[in-house]
């Protein structure tokens, strides 16, 4: 099939203020919001969607405090067994300022393994004319949270990814699954498809003919399958950090392409070039420190996993580069300390939810295993090396085979992706999804990583508003933002 080329590649202008997403803050809102609003007994409401009422203002961002409304959705864990276990899921509504709002926007945040309330998006522009909704993700929000403290206990263990420790991680995942199953939880009913039906229940309960979707990362997979299962329910869809079918796995090739691009940028910038002759070589030296006998007390597997996660945004990448350069000059302390801090977010992961959704793509690990190891020439894929082992002991529910690839989808869709995104590489959005979107467009952000959209949140919000209103991509609000490694 011939690819449909509707890509708008933009070199954004540099903003006056620069900030970045800090992963350890992602779930702060979720924990306080859910504790404050939904700490009641799980069956406090009748089946279906309750009426919306006030939310505790001190549990919400100031921007929406006083106007946000909250409700509870009660649904069967297994829709084939309506008299069985029930789930209570929180629903948050930010009402539009306009008395006659347009098509509502439902936000699908990232993960899996994170709450859908982990980030309240900068949608103030949208809220002028659109109601904005967040529906709790089953398994991560509400009355059943598939947490795995057994796994968290292993995160700080020495030799993070030694063969022995990976085996213990896998046993911890198995123990977690068995504990939830012994409590009567049916782990096969916490898939993306179940999440979709929860959202569809809210849509139909509110009698909306159609809804808009704003999805981020993992949420984009939910959006793709939603449009496939309920094509008549979706008006327009915006996908940010696009995850096509089969890509809850990562891959060494993409990781190395990002390092190659960083090396190009460094070589072209005087301050960076003065610190290293070859940035990729410097980084690989750092993550092979003990392996090559350069450092005694550092855990290379921590450094490698930390590198993958720090490549998500510019701020963390700069810190890792500084630590790698220090290591090359003989000081390994910043790398050792920074690696442990970078992986601190692992303890905030809802591991069971991650496996219940993300595990659907684990069938790909066997064919990719030879690319996982880190070498002196390749970063490898440390995240895949971890999940390929631990997923073997979780009772994964795989998707039907036809969901392992994209299909023709005529939904009006805007794809937004950074060009050096290790988590959701833009090449897959271009080659594996866009050709199946005859009404799709792609906004490519030059040298942006997975979490760098926050650098131009206001401009992107305006672009999203225009798209929801008109179906047209107007990238003019974006400003140039060249990636300067060292200011």
Assign residue 78 the CATH number of its domain. 3.40.50.1820
Both 263 and 226 in a single domain? no
- Among 205, 209, 233, 195, smallest CA distance to 46 is for 205
- Both tokens assigned to 257: 């392409």
Q: Are 379 and 464 part of one and the same domain?
A: no
Tell me: pLDDT of 3 over 50. Answer: no
C-alpha 130/C-alpha 122 separation (Å) is: 13
Contacts of 483 (CB under 8 A, 6+ apart): 265, 314, 447
Per-residue pLDDT of 404-429, as tens digits, reads 999 999 999 999 999 999 999 999 99
The answer as to whether 478 is a domain residue is no
Residue 367 domain boundaries: 252-393
pLDDT of res. 36: 53
76-88 pLDDT, tens digit per residue, is 999 999 999 999 9
| Sign of the dihedral defined by the CA atoms of residues 190, 195, 197, 199, in that order | positive
Residues 219 and 238 in one domain: yes
The answer to whether 72 and 203 have CB atoms below 8 angstroms apart is: no
Does residue 369 share a domain with residue 298?
Answer: yes
Same structural domain, 357 and 238: no
pLDDT band for position 27 (cuts 50, 70, 90): very low
Q: Is residue 164 part of a domain?
A: no
Average model confidence (pLDDT) across the chain? 91
72 contacts 89 by C-beta, under 8 angstroms: yes
In this predicted structure, what is the pLDDT of residue 173? 98
Q: Give the Cα separation of 119 and 114 in Å (integer).
A: 10
Average pLDDT over residues 66-71: 93
CA distance 374 to 371: 8
- Both 73 and 207 in one domain: the answer is yes
Tell me: do 325 and 292 sit in the same domain: yes
Q: Residue 7 pLDDT > 80, yes or no? A: no
Residue 336 has pLDDT above 60, yes or no: yes
Token reading at 243: 């995850």
Let me know if residue 25 belongs to a domain.
Answer: yes
Phi, psi of 216 (to 5 degrees): -130, 125
Alpha helices in 216-329 (DSSP H): 218-229, 252-267, 270-273, 279-287, 300-310, 314-328
| Most confident among 54-68, 113-127, 270-284 (mean pLDDT) | 270-284
Convert the pLDDT of each residue in 127-178 to its tens digit: 999 999 999 999 999 999 999 999 999 998 889 999 999 999 999 999 999 9
Strand partners for 49: 73
Over residues 357-392, the pLDDT tens digits come to: 999 999 999 999 999 999 999 999 999 999 999 999
Domain-terminating residue out of 393, 424, 459: 393
> Residue 14: is its pLDDT beyond 50?
no
Cβ(483)–Cβ(258) below 8 Å: no
The verdict on 230 and 101 lying in the same domain is yes
Alpha-carbon span 113 to 292, nearest angstrom: 35
What pLDDT is stored for residue 320 in this prediction?
Answer: 97
Do 102 and 242 belong together in one domain? Answer: yes
Query: Residue 457: inside a domain, yes or no?
Result: yes
- For β-strands 412-418 and 440-445, DSSP reports them as parallel
Model confidence at 22, in pLDDT bands (50, 70, 90)? very low
Which pLDDT band holds residue 35 (cuts at 50, 70, 90)? low
The two three-digit tokens of residue 436, written as one number: 């199946």
Paired tokens of 97:
């300022």
Please tell me whether residues 25 and 83 are part of one structural domain. yes
Residues 258, 124: one domain?
no
The count of structural domains within the chain is: 2
**Element spanning 204, H or E:** helix 192-205
> Do residue 329 and residue 215 come from a single domain?
no
Are the C-beta atoms of 74 and 46 separated by less than 8 Å?
A: yes
**Nearest Cα residue to 481 out of 423, 439, 425, 419:** 419
Reported pTM: 0.93
């Amino acid at each position: 099939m011939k690819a449909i080329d509707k890509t708008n590649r933009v070199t954004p202008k540099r903003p006056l203020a620069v900030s970045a997403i800090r992963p350890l803050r992602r779930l702060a809102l979720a924990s306080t919001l859910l504790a404050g609003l939904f700490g009641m007994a799980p069956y406090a409401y009748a089946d279906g969607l309750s009426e919306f009422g006030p939310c505790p203002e001190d549990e919400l961002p100031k921007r929406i405090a006083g106007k946000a409304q909250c409700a509870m959705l009660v649904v069967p864990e297994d829709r084939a067994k309506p008299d069985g276990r029930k789930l209570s899921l929180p629903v948050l509504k930010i009402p539009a300022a306009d008395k006659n709002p347009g098509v509502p926007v439902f936000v699908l945040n990232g993960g899996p393994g994170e709450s859908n309330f982990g980030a309240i998006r900068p949608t103030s522009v949208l809220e002028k004319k659109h109601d904005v909704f967040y529906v709790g993700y089953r398994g991560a929000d509400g009355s059943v949270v598939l947490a795995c403290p057994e796994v968290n206990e292993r995160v700080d263990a020495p030799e993070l990814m030694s063969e022995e420790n990976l085996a213990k991680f896998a046993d911890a995942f198995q123990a977690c699954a068995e504990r939830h199953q012994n409590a009567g939880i049916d782990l096969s009913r916490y898939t993306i498809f179940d999440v979709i039906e929860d959202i569809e229940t809210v849509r139909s309960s509110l009698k909306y003919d159609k809804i808009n979707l704003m999805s981020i990362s993992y949420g984009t997979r939910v959006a793709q399958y939603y449009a496939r299962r309920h094509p008549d329910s979706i008006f327009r869809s915006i996908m940010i950090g696009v995850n096509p079918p089969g890509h809850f796995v990562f891959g060494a090739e993409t990781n190395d392409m990002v390092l190659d691009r960083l090396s190009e940028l460094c070589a072209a910038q005087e301050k960076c070039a003065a610190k290293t002759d070859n940035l990729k070589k410097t980084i690989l030296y750092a993550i092979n420190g003990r392996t090559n006998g350069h450092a005694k007390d550092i855990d290379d597997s921590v450094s490698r996993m930390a590198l993958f996660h720090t490549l998500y945004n510019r701020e963390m990448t700069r810190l890792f580069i500084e630590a790698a350069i220090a290591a090359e000059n003989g000081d390994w302390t910043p790398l050792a300390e920074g690696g442990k801090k970078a992986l601190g977010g692992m303890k905030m992961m809802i591991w069971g939810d991650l496996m219940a959704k993300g595990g659907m793509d684990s069938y790909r690990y066997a064919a990719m295993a030879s690319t996982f190891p880190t070498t002196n020439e390749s970063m490898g894929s440390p995240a895949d090396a971890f999940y390929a082992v631990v997923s073997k002991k979780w009772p994964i529910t795989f998707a039907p085979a036809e969901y392992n690839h994209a299909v023709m989808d005529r939904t009006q869709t805007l794809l937004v992706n950074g060009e050096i995104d290790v988590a959701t590489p833009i090449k897959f959005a271009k080659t594996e999804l866009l050709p199946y979107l005859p009404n799709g467009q792609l906004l490519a952000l030059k040298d942006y990583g997975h979490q760098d959209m926050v650098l131009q949140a206001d401009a992107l919000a305006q672009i999203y508003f225009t798209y929801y209103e008109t179906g047209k991509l107007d990238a003019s609000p974006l400003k140039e933002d060249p990636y300067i490694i060292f200011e």
